[in-house]
Amino acid sequence: MVAVYRISAIAVMVEVAIQSMSVVFGIAGQGKWIQEGGVLDKAVIEAREFVFPEVIGYLIHGLNGTILIPLTALILLVSSFFTKVPGAVKWASLVLLAVAVQITLGMSASGLPVLGALHGLNALLLLGAAFYAARLVRRSRTADQGDRLASRA
């Protein structure tokens, strides 16, 4: 279970990286398209078409952020109860909380854009929490091994 915990924590970190990459990919593609004469308005957005190929970036951001990341964070929390590592449950809960806050901020940002800025900031907090969770089990595993070696001696 420690392995599941550690892999899920690392997976959250990787997914957060994909999130920041995909959304900027989308924005950059949109900028290029507008430079070339494209016009974006609500009707075009609601057409839900690939008017520029980098729309895939927004799509990945949306699917990853609302499905994959919450799922991974849930696996992290469930596995945390079986790791018997002090602090594992706490850090997994913080990761899940950051994910919940992140989705809420992302969904509300079009109504109140300043929430978008907090969405960017909270991504770093989420990354930090996942990083700490991953390190926590590695640290405790090396500590375990040290204890075992000590008892053998």
Partner 1 sequence: MGMGYAEHGGHGGQVAGGRSVTSLVADPRRPADVSVTLAAGKERFRLPSGRAFDGFTLNGGSPGPVIRATLGQLVEVRLVNGSVPDGITLHWHGVDVPNAADGVAGVTQDAVRIGEEHVYRFIADQAGTFWYHSHQMSHEQVRGGLLGALVVTPPEQPAETVDVVALVHLYDGVRTVNGNEGDVRVTVPPGKRARVRIVNTDNGPMSAWVGGASYRLVAVDGTDLNRPDPVRDTGVLVTAGGRADVEVTMPEDGSPVRVHLGGTTAVVLGSKSYDAPVVRPPATTLDLLSYGMRASLGFDPNRPDRRFDYDIGRRPGFLRGRPGLWWTVNGSIFPDVPMFVVNEGDVVRMRISNHSGDVHPMHLHGHHAVVLSRNGIPAAGSPWWVDSLNVADGESYEIAFVADNPGIWMDHCHNLPHAAEGLVAHLMYEGVTTPFMIGGTEGNEPE
Quick one: CA torsion of 27, 30, 70, 83, rounded to 10 degrees? -40
Point out which span in 19-27, 32-40, 113-121, 144-152 binds partner 1 (CB under 8 A): 32-40
Which member of 35, 36, 86, 110 binds partner 1 (CB under 8 A)? 110
Residue 43, helix vs strand vs coil: helix
Where would I find the H helices in the chain?
2-35, 42-46, 55-63, 69-83, 88-108, 114-152
Q: Residues 31, 52: contact at Cβ < 8 Å? A: no
With respect to partner 1, which residue has the nearer C-beta, 39 or 153? Answer: 39
List the x/- string, 35-54, binding to partner 1 by CB under 8 A.
--xxx-xxxxxxxxxxx---
| Interface with partner 1: number of residues (CB under 8 A) | 18
Quick one: which segment of 20-28, 31-39, 88-96, 125-133 binds partner 1 (CB under 8 A)?
31-39
Enter the tokens of residue 153: 């001696």
Distance CA 15, CA 12 (A): 5
Which CB sits closer to partner 1, 93 or 104?
Answer: 104
Contact positions toward partner 1, by CB under 8 A?
A: 37-39, 41-51, 107-108, 110-111
